[in-house]
Structures are given as structure tokens and as C-alpha cells.
Structure 1
Amino acid sequence: MASAPERDPRLSSLRLPLLLTQAGMLAERLLRCFWPVLSILMGVLAALMLGLHDMAPIEVVWGLGVLAILAALGFTVRGALRFDWPGRDAALARLDATLPGRPIRALLDEQAVGAGDAASAAVWHAHQARMAARAATARPVRPNLRLAARDPYALRYLALLALAVGLIFGSVWRVGSVAQMTPGGAALAGGPTWEGWVEPPRYTGLPTLYLGDITTPEMRVPEGSRITLRFYGEVGALTLAETVSGRIGELPSAADPQQEFTVAKAGELRVDGPGGRAWDVAVIADAPPEVSVSGAAETGAEGELTLPFSARDDYGVTGGAVGIELDMAALDRRYGLAVAPEPRAAITVPLPLPISGNRADFTEKLIEDFSKHAWANLPVIFTLTATDAAGQVGQAAPYAAPLSARHFFDPLAAAIAEQRRDLLWSRENARRVAQILRAVSHRPDEVFRSETAYLRLRVILRRLETFTAHGLKVAQRDEIAEALWGLAILLEEGDLGDALERLRRAQDRLSEAMKNGAGDQEIAELMQELREASDEYLRQLSRQAQKDGQQGDQGQPQDGDSLQMTQNDLQRMMDRIQELMEQGRMAEAQQALEELQQLMENMRVTQGQQGQGGPSDGERAMEDLADTLRGQQGLSDQAFRDLQEQFNPGAGAGQSQQNEGRSGGQGRGQSHDGQGQGQQQGDGQGGDGSQQGQGGQQPGAQDPDVGSLADRQQALREELRRQQGNMPGAGTPEGDTTREALGRAGRAMEGAQEALRGDDLAEAIDRQAEAIEALREGMRALGEAMAQQQQQGSQQQGQGVAQGDMRANQRDPLGRQAGVNGGLGTEEGMLQGEDVYRRARELLDEIRRRSGEGARPEVELDYLRRLLDRF
């Protein structure tokens, strides 16, 4: 039989666990019986703290209040009837049920049989000792507070969420205002009351002020601040008097419960009535921005204008522009400028702003190229303006200077450029320009170094005369001006054929002089001419290499010989020829000159082919991987835009004026997936374009639906599998690293494909990011393998070529020079365009603006923050 558990000394070690278990059972039963009452109380408190009762009619407020009270009373009565206080026995039974063998109940039992037998008593005491040891390990039982079965719609959580919102965005003091809605409630609450706020303009970055916290009679607020006042209590008990808004005409009543106005000038703000206050308001004026030219305009090597300027504003400059107008007063009106100019709009260029940092005070440089403008090299007036967030405009003092542009040092090129300017100045100059051009080309042998340039001039001249005879139109004038500009550039810079012809002529004259026994003075002059012609030819080789996107390996013979020659080697050969002639060894000098002539004519510009007929296997593999990487980046961008469309419909329909469609590019340039308008030119296209179709331009690239993305992802994965089978460098550590990285990329692509087919765009974007990182790692490892292989090959052939020279022949799939140890880094300016820096600033400003919009989906905000962290 068992004894009562109260005050039982055998349970002394279980007092704390038993007490905590009993308390948990009490909380469990209270929550199960009275959770509807708690939910109603939380919902009512949330509504009162948010001030919803101030917005609804009084009848609706009291009707809902009565319903809430009745519901709370009903649920309270029902809970009280169902509530059962947890006793000590119930707590002891729950605690005992958690232990094996129910040791607590065994401790309370008494021996009924064999109590007089010593052996039986010993066994019983041993059993009691084991049960006591087991009961000592008891721990409080955790209460079961789950209410899902009783609250299937989770109404308690909705009430709790509403209460949290009220605590964060509402005010506890608003709860007391409900008493004013009763008859005489305003008097019982202590009479009428008011509250108000001063909200400075957002661009100032200043916080909102609560008028009740301002105890001083003076108040300083920024210009354009918004003041909001609310009156509670009997209408007319409180009134507003103010002279800061400057409002005229029909004004709202001074006793309206809600008053809003903007601070426009200094004055007085006063609340009249019980508890009223008054302030003298001083306005902090928003000064207009200031901008000025901080240095002289400079002209770059290619004729670009560099104009330094400084700008400042009390809250930051948001924009600016520079206007350029022709300075007619300073213009020398002679020759082609004597006639009246045709109307031409002033030049307007936006001012560059700092990409990051404070825009309250900064110094920047305006860099633009006006070489092809009609006002090039003519006096102009620069007018700089800056704008702040309030829309105020500050203007700098006019700055007079010539419009910096390209200067032509070749006399014929300068003459052509001048006639082009005259033609753009006024179409009345067309006949005069044609006459001058015809006079210039009267004796072509004396002024033209190239027959090509002469023929181009004759074609331009005939078209100009034909157009002039039938009335020169604007479009025809612009066409002729563009042709003249190209001819001037050709005459100024020349081309490879001109330089080679000049070199041959200098060599022939020197050879003829040696045969005729010319004197030392004539020989020295002809040698100097040969040196200058050689230098010009080498410069044209280098310029041609840059235009073709190649690495100029000047001096590599066309027969595939691995020996390389530098400009110093050529100079030493010419020094040797001059030394032989001075010593009278004309036959040897003639032979050396013939060798030099043959070498110079056979010079060519290689494209990283190392004497072979085409790119190596490693270079082709690198190009394929680059195409795959671009395709994967395009898929990731489009998946992100589709995810953005799910949360914010219409967000992917063009992010800027330059963005056309969904290809991931900026409309006019190259896109990741190879489908922008400016589609992967040069090295990125990969020869015949076969790889382009597999890696960078997948079928269905314009289809925005998820199924299409999954098909493109599968095709990209199959293309990567094909490339893995053809990957060079097997058996080397770098090659194994490449294959391991591409294997990870393939697995990530498979995961992205499965996620796309399951319509899980967020998971797909994560897997695509892993694939992109793995592809980049594979390309780095492949570049190191290629560099190692080339270094070993050079040592075996005994070329003695420095590692830097070998690297000069390497190109990554984007046409860039390889970095140190075969890395794919470069310091070359890969972006081309009229203003790369301004476009970068615009993109960064747009990313910052969107990252500050809290209404955007969290996944988009995370993506934007990652962009800001990286750039």
C-alpha cells in the first residue's frame, strides 16, 4: 500500500522538480482555457496604440468595443468552467511518468508481504534504494503549450503580431485618448490636448522633431520642413496661429483637428487653448549650390578636353551640366569664317559626380572629346551649373577658352581639317572648299605620300561638287565632313602601306648612293632618313596591332623562326651599315642593307600564335570556357530578373533607358548571354562562331519562362561536359585542378537545372553562383597550366626569351593580356565608349537608390548589397 506524498521525507530531493512541473501544468491549463481572452486583449491594445479609434467614427469604435468586451467575458466564463487546478498528485504522476519503472510511486509503496522475513526485507530495502537513486535523476517536465488543435487559424499569432506592430510604430499614450470618446470623457481626461511634428526635407538627413519635446521658445528648422499638428478634444477648444507658411487665399479653419503646412519663412507658431504653446521659428535657409572652374582647360594626347571644376552645397550636389557656346567676340572672322555661321545649338554635357563619398564639397574633371565638332579649336565660353536636391541651380562665372580638340601636325591633314571646319561652319563655303581642295590636289606627287589618300580626296571632291551643284543638304554636308575627317586622320597617322613605301624609298636612295660613291655628308643624311622611316614603320606596326586587337610582336620573321628582334637590334644593324660605309666596305654594307630591307618587309604582327598557324589547344579551351562563363552569367541574370518579377511585376521590363529587353546587357553593348545588340565581337566570338552557339547563345535565350531557362541550363551543362573531354593538361597538377573545378561547376549546373524545373528560382540562383565561381577557378588553373607549358617549351628550345616576352603573346578569351604567372588579370582599359566613367557612376547611383528602397523583396536587396560590397 502507498502512503500520502505530502511531507514525505523520501521525496525531499524532488521538491524543486515537482514544484516546477506543477507550475508548468498550471501555465499549460491557463493558456488552453484563456488563450481567446489573451488574443482579444492583445488585438484591442494594438488597435488603440496605433490610433485606429481616432480614424473611425465614434459609433463604430464603441460598437466594436462592446463586442470585444462581450467576447472577452464569454471566453472568460467558458475558460473558468473548464479550468482544473493541477494538484500535487497530478504533478507527481506526470513527473513519475518520465522516469523508467516509475520510481517515485515505488518509493511511496510499503512492503505488504514478507515484512517479518529478514531476507525479504533486505530485498525490499535494496529495491527502495535503487528507486531512490533513479528518482534523484528526475528533471522538471516541460509543459505542452501547443494550441494548434484549439487555434487552427493561428489567431493568437495574428494578435501578437498586431501588438508588436503597435509597440513599434504606435504609442502607449494613445490608449488613454479613447476615454475622450465617452460623454464628458474629454473633461475627465484633463481637457483638450494636442501633438505635433516637424519633418525636415528628406535630403537634409535630419531627424523628425516632436513639438511636445521642444521646451525652449525658439526653434530652428530647415527651409521646406513639414509641420503636422493634431488637436484632440472638443472642436474649437484648441486653435492654431502661425506666420511661417506664408499661405494666402482660402485657408483651412484654425480649429481643424489636423493641420499641415510647410515652413517657408521665419515667424511665429502658436497653439492657443488649454495646454497651448508658442515658438519663434527661425528658418535655416537652403543655400544654392556653388560651382566653379578650378583650373585651366587641358588638351590630351588624342585631343580630349580636360576641364577641372569644384562644386559644393550644404546638403550635397545632385546634378550639373556644362554649356558651351561659341565666343563670337573673340573669334577671328577670316577666310572660311567670314560668312555668317549656320545656327547650331549650344553644347550641353552633364558634369561628372563622385561615385562614392560626400558630394557636399568635391573636385572633379570633365573629360570629353570635341575633336569632330564644328567649333573644335575655336574660342568658346564654358558655363557650369550645379543642382541640389531642392531644385536650386548654382551657376559658375563664364570661362572663356578654346574648345580643346585634336591638332594636326601634318600640313596637308591640317588643311583638310580646316576645310572640313569651314564646310560645317556654313554650307555657303562649299564652293570655296571645293576650289581649295582641287588646288591642294593639283600636284599630288608633291604633297601626297600615298596614292590611296589622293584617290580618296578626289572621290570626296567629286561628290562635294556634285552635291553643291544641286544644292547641298545638311545630310550631304555631314557625309562629306565625315569623309574629310577620315582623310585627315589617314594623312596624319598614315598607314602601314605608307610607312613601308617610305622605308623602301629610303633604302633605295641609300643603296643608289652607295653604288654611286656618294660623300660622307650625303650618306649621313640618307642614313638619318632611313632611321626615321624605320621608326615610323615600327610605330605603324604597333598602331595596326592595337587596331586589330593583337599583341604587336614586332620583329618576328614571317618564316616562323623563333628568334625575336627588338628596335634596338634594328638600330644596331643600321649602325653597322653606317660603320661599314664609313670604312669604305661598300660591298659588305650593300649586303647588310639588303638583309635589313628583307627583314623589315617581312615583319608582321603575331597574335599569340608562337610561330604556329593558329591558336593552341589551350587557347581554344580558354575561349570555350569564357563563352560558357558568359552564358552562365546571362542565365543567372535572367533568373534573378524572373525572381524579381514574382515579387515586383514589371521590374524587369528594362532597368534604364539604355537597357533593351532582358539580355542582361545595357542594350547597346555586350551582354552576358551573348544576345545584346553589340554581340561579342573580336576574340569573344571564337572564329567561326560554332562555340558561340553552344556556350554563349543558347536556344530560347529570349524566352523568359522558367522552363526555357532550365532547357538552356541543360544545354550549357552538356556543352561544359564536352569541353571537359577536350581539356588539355591531363596529368599535371594545374590540369587536375582545372578538371576538379569544372566538375564542381557541372554539379552546380545540374542543381540549378533541377531547381529551375522545380520553379525554385532562389535556389537556382545560388547554384548558378557556385557554377560561375567554379568556372572562374577552372579558367585560372587553365591559365597557369598554359603558362607553365609555354615556359617549359621555351627552355627546351633554348630560345632564351624572357618570361615577360612569352606572356606578351598570351591572350585570354576576352583579348586581354595575361597577368602574372598566367593569371587572367589585366590593367588594360577594356570598356570602350564616349564616357565610361559617367556610365559607371550612373549604374552605381542606381544600385544605391534601389538598395535604399525597403519595399523591394529581400532577395533583391541582398543582391544589391552584394553588388555594393564588391564595387
Structure 2
Amino acid sequence: MSGATPDPPEPAREPDTIARLQLTQALQRAKYAIAWERGWPSLARLLSVIGLFLVVSWAGLWLTLPFVARAIGSGLFVLLAVGTLFPLIRFRWPTREEALRRLDRGTGIRHRPATALTDTLATRDPVALALWQAQRERTLASLKRIRAGLPSPRLAIHDPWALRALVMVMMVATYVAAGDERALRVAAVFDWNGVLAPANVRVDAWVTPPNYTGKPPIILSAANKDAGTPDSGPLPVPAGSTLLVRSSGGTIDVVVGGGVTEIAPSAEAPKGTNERHFKIAADGTAHVRAPAGQPLWKFTATPDRPPTIALAKDPERQARGSLQMSYRLEDDYGVTEARAQFAVRPGDTPKETGKETGKSAEPRPLFDPPQFALVLPNARTRNGVGQTVKDLSEDPYAGADVTLTLTAKDEAGNEGRSEPFNMKLPERLFTKPLARALIEQRRILALDANQNAQVFTALDALMIAPELFTPEAGQYLGLYSVARQLEAARTDDALREVVASLWALAVTIEDGNITDVDKALRAAQDALKQALERGASDEEIKKLTDNLRAAMDNFLRQLAQQQDRAPIPNMPPVPEEVRVILEQSKALREKTAHATEDQLEDLAMQQEALRQRLKNFRDTHKPR
């Protein structure tokens, strides 16, 4: 046998390998702990300097200091930061021996167990080898207690006054106080453009409110340099105003925040100048950092309130079936548009539509509810009462229960709405039963196309016993034609034509041949009124006046002919009222021939009143 020491048996190698692996990991942790203890004090001082810089920035100090002071202040903070990092020059990574010593201290066991595991046996003596192996086994048994421990930088020795805690408290306070301007206040320290900018550069800035407000521009520089500064408080401006900053030379560096955003300029800047344009949509700030010399401007955007509109009194029906509405308007900058909108009240449908049809339960109107523009007291009304008269007697919704809503808009697009008002749309009064029945069926069909079968049944019923209900052949043929038209209708457009035919037939039955001349008279009156409102030329007004005279003459002539062709039976021997009405009509015709443009509308209204009186007289004395 040779004198070499035999290798340890195989079972003994495995614990030794595991022990070495655990020891290596413990040594690595010990090195990290020692390195942290050596480097953290310097890093803590650096973080304290950075925190102090943020405190000064968020407190707004850089915004109040001149540019030279900002440069000096930033330089001091850089020197402090470098000074805190200077001790790191002597930093050295922990050695293996230092890590072993830390592990020996961390076990709490004497005789340096961690170091013992790294020892090697120099002799080959079997007895010494056995003793050494036994000692290693005892050391391995205690290996679970070998720990590097937590780092202990002992910051209290380096910072006995606990200034780092004070810096953290101030950081939290200034962070909350800075609000949305945190980034702006930090960036202000790097604004050194004023140090290099020429002294003779001029900066002009002003805020231009929207044109519809009628307010003058607000100068922010020169004489009004302090407007909107932190000392004077935020500057109130209308929302949507434009901020313009102009420099006589060099580039313009403008920092904005909040609701102030940059927009494209609407025109080129004057030669030799530079401009920046911004829109103030909400509260915000603006600061011209270069060229130097301008403070931080704060703006409070005053929103444009929506206009208000309400009925001054309940809508009224006029003599000819027109609707007259009076309404009150109010807006901070002026109303530019107002409209009246109608909607059918749910459930307020004619009785005929309440029957089950087997079709869709939802009404299917053929026409949209009426809506029209309202007359404004002024082109831009801030506070006033307006009045509009609208003839809706021919509208398919005439006589229906509706909800009226008035809307008003200003130039900024804000819209105000009135409280809904329930009403019944005025309609033309038909005295003849057949005409009234046709108008009722017309409204039913117009408001719900699903009722076409019921309307056809009603029309078919009206044609029963024509010798009693429709003795005139023309009326019977017209009723028959409309019924066949409705029967053949398959589309909404065809049904709309049926609605128009029902109206035309009802008016013909009611008025006879006077309908066309009545329409011509109304058209002539409206044309002359519109020409006078828009300031038409004298030639146009003269032509429209002649047309109105001719239409009125034709209307009176047709009215007299109708009375001659259809004399009222069983009249009293001396119809004094009729005679007075005709004499007054004749006098009006003579006045019309020599009337001026301003008198024509009054004469037309008087003539209409006489026509209504004559019609009422006929209804009173018609045969029973």
C-alpha cells in the first residue's frame, strides 16, 4: 500500500459539497451587506440633496428669482450633489476574509465556524484526518446558523439631527402645494435663457376674448405687466380667449399649463417679430421664459353660460288660426338663434287610433312635428322679449295635443331649453260636417301610418247614401277618388300624397273656389312684409304693392260672386249686417287703391276681419 491518504468515502463528499455551496451563498450575501453599509450613507446624503432641490422647486422659489440667481442656485445644488458622492471615491468592494469575519460574527458560535469550513488539512496522517473530519461534521451541523445579517449603515452617526426626515416631510407638503405646476416649477431652474438674451428685446403679450363677447383685449405686458401674476391673483378671461405672445427678436420660449394650449396662428407675424398663439379653454398658466423679463401669468377661464328662454305667456290662437308666442330671452353675450319645437304627447292620439290593428303598436308618423325659427328682438339679444306669429293651420299636426319646447343658442354653440309646455296646436275651423270629418281622418293618418285601414273604412262609410251626405256630385267624386288613392297606397310617400289630397278636398268643400284667391292674397301679404323687413328697393316694393292690390281685388270679387251664387235661404227680409259688411268691404277697396306700403298690412287685416264676420253670419243663418 502506498503512503497516500485515501479519499473520503462517497457518502462523505455529498455533505461537503452542499456545505460549500451554502457557504458560497452566505459569503455573497455578506459582501452585499458590507457594501451597502459602506455606500448607503453617501447615497442617503445624495437623495437628501435631491429632495431638498425638489422642495425648493415645488415651493416656487425659482419662479421668483432672477435668471442669474437661478444659475447660481442650480450650481450650488450640483456642488452639494458632487460633494455627497465624493466619499464614494474611496469605496472598495468587500474581500472574502471580511465576508468570513462577518459570517463568524453572525453565527454567535466561537471558534470561527465559517472560517473553519474553508480550512484545508496539510498532513496526511490518518489520525489527524479523522479528527479533522469529525470537526467538519460538527461545523456542518451548525451551518444552518451561519447568517450575514441585515445591513446596518448607522445613519444616525452620519445624520445625528435627522435632517433627512425633515426633507421628506417638506417634500410631501410642497408636492401637494405645487399641484399641476410641479413639472413647470422644476423646469424653471434650467431657464437660463435670460442670462444670454439681449437686453433690448421687447416682449408684448395680450389676451383677445372671442369676438361675440364684445370685450376689449387685455394687455399683459408693458403698462399692465403685473396682470395675472401670483401677487395680483389669477386674471379672469372669457373661456375660448386667445393669448398672443410677440417678441421683437430671438426665439420665444413659452411654457403653458392647465387649460392653456398652443394653436396655429391665424395670420403671419409682422416682419421682424416672432409670435406664439395659445387658446385659454380652462384655468391655466403661461410663462415666457425667453426672452426674459415676464412673470408667470395665471388665468381663470370664465365659461360662457348657456342662454335661457321661457314663455312670457301662454301661446294664443289668432283669428285666422295662426299661433302667437311671446317668449323671454337672456344670455350673457347674446342669443343668436331661437327655435320652437313640437312633439306629440305620448298617449294623446285620436280615438280612432286606439283600436287594435294587429300591426306595430308604436305610432309611425308620416311627417315630422313642426319646428321653426323664432323672431329675435335684436340680432344679438342679451335680455328681451320676442314675439312670433306662425300659421300652422295647414300642418298635419294642427289640432293635435303636443308639447312645445323653445330652444335658444348663442354664438359659442351653447343651447338653452325652456320648460315643456303642453298645448293643442291651433287648427283651421271647418264648419261643414264633411270637411271636418276629412280633416279628422287626415290628422289620424298623418300621425300614424298604421291607421290607414281605419281611415279607409271611415272614407268608405262617408260614401254611404250619397243623396243624404254628399248630394253634390263633385264632392262625392272627390271622396271616391281619395278613397281609391288610399287603397292603392303602398309606400309612405304615397300616403303623404293622400294626406295632401284630404286637405285639398276638405278646403274645397268648405270654401269652394275662393281657396285659391285666399292663398294668393296671403302670399302677396307675406311677400310684401318680407321685402319691407329686409329693406328691398323701391321698385321691388312698388311691384309687390301692386300685386297685393290685385290679389285683394280678386279676393273681394270672388267673395261677392260666391254670395251671389249661393244665396242664404230663409234670410230675414232686411239683412242689415250683410249690407254693412259689404259696404265696409267696398270702402276698404277704395282705400287700398290709394294706400301706402305701411297701411297695406292693416287694411288686409281689416278685410280679413270683415270676411270672418260675413262667414259667421252665414253659419248663424244656415238652414237647420
Give the TM-score, by structure 2 length.
0.47
Larger radius of gyration: 2
Given the two structures, how large is their TM-score scaled by the length of structure 1? 0.35
Higher strand share: 2
- Relative contact order, higher structure (CA 8 A, sep 6+): 2
